[in-house]
């Protein structure tokens, strides 16, 4: 029996423990849990706490209407198709699951399907928004996509029924970010006209207007107010499923000054490779796997790194990392395994358009 002091459990870290019921329990046990917790869900588990399904008040009422009694087994009313999520599922993805399926709670399970927690709609809605500024470089000429970009800026080219930049902003919002700064140049007035102040998307959008192309990083020198927290910098032609909130956590937990997301690629050489020293053979490897890390166009920079920039000077992001390293600032990589694609070429843009949806899954990179 749970005492009265534990009735309001939803803000307690281990509240889910009071929702667990063994698969061999009776309907009366499920009713007792619903009444005592007020969370409108019972989580059905095996004796090792592995997830089987859920029971709601509606499930119980339907069971009774079908002739079950309070002493009947809960096996007959358990929803074995109930949703669950892994611990690293993003808040945006969880909200989408809840909204699409009209549910208010989702159990959290680990890689072994053991219940470790519970997400509720109220907790997600009340979770703190990341205050960090997201800067999106949207000023490029998009020359490789001409003639499409002759009269339309690349960020406004559509994938499905939305511009590339809208997909990027909505994805970042799902990860908890709502303050954006768009660096614009080529046909920038069209981008400003489309997005305005961002209120249509429930975010705040302001602009940096480049007088000349400043590269993938130079616009950061034009910030009116120097940030006090790390900022995220995104290329305006990169579509990715990477969770920006997790990347920020990674950056901060490693005490980094600069973090660059990298996509790991593997290439199997079609040839055997002979290792030599002078004319001597010192080794041989048959069709070795060559691994490299590709700059993914997603970055996090601390304020002290931004201060290394010279105002109005053209600067690309890799050179900023070189400046940071020369200044003995800690720079790290954030390896991403998520879907990622640079839509800066006609081939890649068409590839994404053929998928006709974002987020892209599966996606050939």
The string of pLDDT tens digits covering residues 197-215 is 999 999 999 999 887 777 7
The token duo for 39 is 């969370």
Q: Between 110 and 92, where is the model more confident?
A: 110
Q: Between 181 and 39, where is the model more confident?
A: 181
Q: What is the pLDDT of residues 56-92, one digit of tens each?
A: 988 998 898 889 999 999 999 999 999 999 988 877 6
Residue 183 bridge partners (DSSP):
137, 208
pTM over 0.85: no
- Strand 158-159 relative to strand 162-163, pairing: antiparallel
Q: Angle, nearest 10°, between helix axes 164-174 and 188-195?
A: 50
The token duo for 236 is 């305006």
The C-alpha angle 134, 303, 340, rounded to 5 degrees, equals 40
Is the preceding peptide bond at 38 cis, omega within 30 degrees of 0?
no
Q: Between 126 and 82, where is the model more confident?
A: 82
Given 275, 287, 330, 356, the catalytic residue: 287
User: Do residues 340 and 263 make contact, with C-beta atoms less than 8 angstroms apart?
Assistant: yes
Is the preceding peptide bond at 359 cis, omega within 30 degrees of 0?
yes
For the chain, domains (ranges, CATH) are 4-126 (3.10.580.10), 134-355 (3.90.550.10)
User: Do residues 92 and 210 make contact, with C-beta atoms less than 8 angstroms apart?
Assistant: no
Q: Based on the residue annotation, tell me whether 314 is a catalytic residue of this protein.
A: no
Nearest to 164 by CA among 172, 173, 152, 155: 155
Q: Tell me how crowded residue 261 is: count the other CB atoms within 10 A of its CB.
A: 25
For tokens 């020198």, name the residue.
221
User: Do residues 280 and 253 make contact, with C-beta atoms less than 8 angstroms apart?
Assistant: no
pLDDT at position 218, please? Answer: 80
Q: What is the pLDDT of residues 252-283, one digit of tens each?
A: 988 999 999 998 777 788 888 888 888 888 88
Average pLDDT over all residues of the chain: 85
């Amino acid at each position: 029996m749970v005492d009265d002091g534990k009735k309001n459990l939803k803000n307690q870290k281990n509240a889910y423990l009071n929702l667990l019921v063994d698969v061999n329990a009776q309907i009366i046990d499920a009713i007792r849990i619903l009444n005592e917790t007020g969370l409108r869900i019972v989580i059905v588990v095996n004796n090792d706490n592995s997830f089987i399904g859920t029971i709601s008040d509606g499930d119980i009422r339907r069971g009774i209407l079908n002739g079950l009694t309070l002493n009947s087994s809960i096996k007959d009313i358990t929803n074995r198709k109930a949703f669950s999520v892994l611990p690293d599922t993003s808040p945006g993805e969880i909200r989408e699951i809840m909204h699409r399926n009209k549910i208010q709670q989702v159990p959290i399970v680990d890689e072994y399907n053991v219940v470790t927690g519970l997400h509720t709609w109220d907790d997600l809605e009340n979770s703190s928004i990341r205050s960090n500024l997201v800067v999106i470089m949207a000023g490029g000429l998009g020359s490789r996509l001409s003639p499409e970009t002759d009269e339309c800026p690349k960020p406004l080219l559509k994938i499905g029924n939305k511009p590339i930049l809208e997909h990027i902003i909505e994805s970042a919002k799902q990860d908890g970010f709502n303050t954006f700064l768009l660096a614009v140049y080529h046909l920038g007035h069209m981008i400003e006209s489309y997005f305005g102040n961002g209120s249509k998307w429930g975010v705040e959008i302001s602009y940096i207007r480049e007088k000349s192309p400043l590269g993938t990083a130079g616009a950061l020198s034009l910030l009116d107010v120097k940030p006090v927290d790390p900022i995220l910098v995104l290329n305006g032609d990169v579509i990715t499923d990477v969770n920006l909130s997790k990347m920020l956590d990674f950056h901060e937990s490693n005490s980094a000054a600069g973090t660059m997301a990298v996509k790991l690629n593997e290439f199997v050489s079609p040839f055997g490779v002979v290792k030599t020293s002078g004319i001597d053979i010192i080794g041989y490897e048959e069709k070795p796997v060559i691994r490299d890390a590709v700059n993914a166009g997603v970055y996090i920079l601390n304020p002290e790194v931004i201060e290394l920039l010279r105002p109005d000077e053209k600067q690309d992001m890799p050179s900023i990392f070189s400046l940071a390293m020369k200044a003995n600032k800690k720079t790290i990589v954030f390896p991403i395994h998520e879907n990622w694609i640079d839509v800066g070429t006609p081939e890649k843009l068409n590839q994404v358009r053929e998928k006709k949806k974002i987020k892209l899954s599966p996606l050939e990179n």
